[in-house]
Structure 1
C-alpha cells in the first residue's frame, strides 16, 4: 500500500512509521520545520474502513458513539466502537462520502479487528464493510496548509472536524498547535499530488503529525490498546466524540453511567519528559512512592528534542515526582477543558 512512499524518498521504518532524510545537514529537525514553515507527511499509521449500503446509517447508529445523522457531508465527527462493557475496540473519525457510503479513519492496526467485529452484526443489515487499502492519507501542517489544499485539491479548507471535497478526494481539518489538514485520495493519485505539494511543502516523517496529535490532546488507540479503556479515559467526550443525546448503541449504558455518575477514575493527560528517550507504549508511570499511576499511550520528540507523551493516569493526587522510563514527567495543560462537548453543538458551530 505504501510502495509509492519509497519512490519519493521515504523510508518505512516500521509498519506505522515513515521517515524522510533531511535536505541537508543544516536542516532543522522535522518538528521544528512544522513550526517555521509548511510540511507534508504520509499518514502511514492511519487506515480507512468504508461502510456502504442501504442500511449503512442505521447499522452504524447502533454500533458507534456518534450521532450518525450529524455526518452529513460537512461535519465529520469523532466516534468510537465499544464492547458491551463500554471498553473501546477502536476510536475513529467518521465522515460521509455519499448518501449510502460512510468512511471511518482509525489506526491502521485496528481496521482488520474492527471489521471482523462489525461483520458479526452486518449480516443482519444491507451493508458492506471494506478496508480501503487503495486509499492514501496525506497530512499538511503549517501556515500555508490551507492555501495549498485550496490550490492543489480545489477545495475551500474546512473548519476542524469538518470535511470538504467530493466522492474521490476529501479534505478534513484537525486541531493542533499549527493548522492541520488531512487529505484522503486514491492511491493512484498520491504520487502526482505529493509532487505538486512538494513544490511548497517539505516532506517529513509522520512522527510530526503524531506529535501534533499529542499536543492537541488527541489519542488514537492501536491494536495493543484495544478493549482497555472507557471512552472518557481518553477524554473522548471532551473532544465531542460521544453523543449523549442519541439512542442505544453497544456499550452505551456503561458509557452513559460513567458520565452521569462521575465514575471515571482515569483520564488522559499531556506531559513532557526531561530527556529525549521515547518510552515504549504501555510504559508504567510511577510516583515518588513507586506506585503505578498510569501508562503511556503515545510518545514523540518535540521541536526541541524532548519527549512529549499522552498518558492515561489515575485521577488521584500523586506523590511527586512522577517518572517513566527513568525520566521525570512534567504534566502539561490540555488544549481543551475537561468537560462534555456535545457533537450536536460542535456541528452547529
Structure 2
C-alpha cells in the first residue's frame, strides 16, 4: 500500500483500544464521586471525532453528554458546567492553545478533566486530572479518537446498566486494528482510482447522517480544505433537501457516506436523488467492508472508524497525484490568528 506502515498502524490502534479496562475503572470511580454530566471539548476537527459518541449517548442513555468548543466555553460557559462535570479534552499534540486555555479555565472552576493525547509529555497530558496517552499522528488519529471516545460513553452506559455488553464489545474491538489493515488493502485499488478521478476537481459536496455525518464533515474540512486546499460543502443528509439539492447539476461531485446505524436511510435518499442529476456520486459504505469476527451490534458502533480508515487511503493517493503533501499549509504556524 502507498506510503503505509501496517505494523505502525496496528500498534497505534491497538494502543487506542487497550484502554478499555482502565476507562471502565475510571468511569466507575468518577461516577461514584458524584460526576453527573460529561462534556467533550476538543478544538477544531478533533471535536468532530467526538460527535458519534455524543450522539450515541443521546439516543441510548439518559446520562447528560454534550459537546462544546473550548474557545467559546472560556468566554461563555454552559450553565451546567460545574464541579460535578467531567470534561474530556482530546488533542493529538497535547499543545493546542485553545485547549490549554480551556484546561486553565476548568481548573479555576474545579471541574474534573480527562485528556486524550498522542504525547505523554505534552502540557495537556500532564495538566489534566486524568490522561490517556497513546502515540499517534495525523494519519492514525481519527480511528484512535473515535474508538477512545466511544469507549468512554460505553463505559458510562455500562456502569448505569444501559449497555450490557461492554466486555464483549471491548474484546471485539481488540481484533479491529488488524481487520482495518485488511480493509485498507481491499480498498487500495479503489482509492487509487478515485484519487485519479478527483485530483483536479475543486469542489465537492459531502453528506451523511447518524454516526458517519461527523466523518463527512471532518474529511471535507480537515483533509480536503485544510490539507489539500479544495473547497467542500459538508451538509447533513437531513438538511440536504432544504437547500443544497438546488446545487446538484451535471458534473457536480457528491460524496455520500453510509453507515450501519438507524440513520442510513437518510443517506440513501440523498444518493438516489443525486444519481438522477449528476454522474459524479461517490458512495462510501461502511457495510461493504468485511470485518470477520465483528458482530452486527459492534459494527453499528464503528461506522465512522471504518470510513476514516478507508479515506486515509484516498488521502495517501491524492497527495501524491496532486503533488501536495498533507502537511503543507499556508497559514498554520505561520500567521498569528
TM-score, reference length from structure 1:
0.28
Whichever structure has more strand as a proportion of its residues is: 1
Whichever structure has more helix as a proportion of its residues is: 2
